[in-house]
Amino acid sequence: MHTQTELNGIGQQCGLALGELFQDESEKRLVFLFRPDASPHERACVAKWARRNGLKAVFVNSVNFPAS
């Protein structure tokens, strides 16, 4: 499990904003990229880093919030 500070550093190296790359305690083998309009370069950068660290990259393309 990587700290959010570490993930923010990797995210910035890949051209992401703070908080767009994160891990969840319940699935430590996954790293999530939460940026619906991520470029192919950004996705490739995250995927390459994830593979080198024994993780699987998950790309969140859209979020549908229920109407309240």
Count of domains forming the chain = 1
What would the pLDDT profile of 13-27 be if each residue is shown by its tens digit?
A: 999 999 999 999 999
| Domain span holding position 17 | 4-60
Measured CA to CA, the distance from residue 36 to residue 14 in angstroms comes to: 15
Quick one: CA dihedral 58, 41, 21, 25, positive or negative? positive
What would the pLDDT profile of 18-61 be if each residue is shown by its tens digit?
A: 999 999 999 999 999 998 889 999 999 999 999 999 999 999 88
Asked if 23 and 32 count as a contact pair (C-beta separation under 8 A), the reply is: yes
Could you please report the per-residue DSSP string of 7-48?
A: HHHHHHHTTPPTTSEEEETTEEEEEEEE-TT--HHHHHHHHH
Query: Does 13 fall in a domain?
Result: yes
Query: Does 65 fall in a domain?
Result: no
pLDDT of residue 21: 95
